[in-house]
Amino acid sequence: MTIERLLTDFAWFADRGDGESLSRLFTTDAALHVSGLELRGREQISADCKRRASNPDRRTRHIWSNLRIDQIGADVATTFAIQITLEQTGAGQPTQVRINDLIDEFRKDEAGAWKISRRVIDRKMAFSIP
């Protein structure tokens, strides 16, 4: 799986509340830092995704762009990208817009597939659309 596909799959699974599939994008010992919260390992990452999706009125869409890849070694890479998150929490509620920096570290697993070993979602801007 390519790094670009991992970024796209993260957005896809997060938007659908598919915590199990989302967690498999990560190494078993991965760390995810989001909104001041640190999640360690696939179980915590999956549970947080499911928790966020537990509100049946919540809808999100994640869009990423501006990918920069720095290869550190044959089995390790770091990336930087921009993510826009759109979120509605119910009918008639304003749409929340967040623009985040994504700082990712990737590592190849035993099978040679890229996985996310560390992800930081760093909010840079936030606003509402009525």
pLDDT of residue 28: 96
**pLDDT exceeds cutoff 90 at 66:** yes
pLDDT-derived band of residue 1, with 50, 70 and 90 as boundaries?
confident
pTM value is 0.94
Q: What is the CATH number of the domain that holds 35?
A: 3.10.450.50
Distances (CA, A) of 69 to 78, 107, 122: 6, 13, 18
Locate the DSSP E strands across the chain.
26-34, 37-40, 59-73, 76-88, 95-108, 114-129
Q: What is the mean pLDDT of the chain?
A: 96
Q: How many domains does the chain have?
A: 1
Domain containing 85: what range?
Answer: 3-129
Quote the percentage of the chain above a pLDDT of 70.
Answer: 100
Residue 20 and residue 44 in contact, taking contact as beta carbons nearer than 8 Å? no
Q: Is the dihedral of CA 104, 108, 113, 117 positive or negative?
A: negative
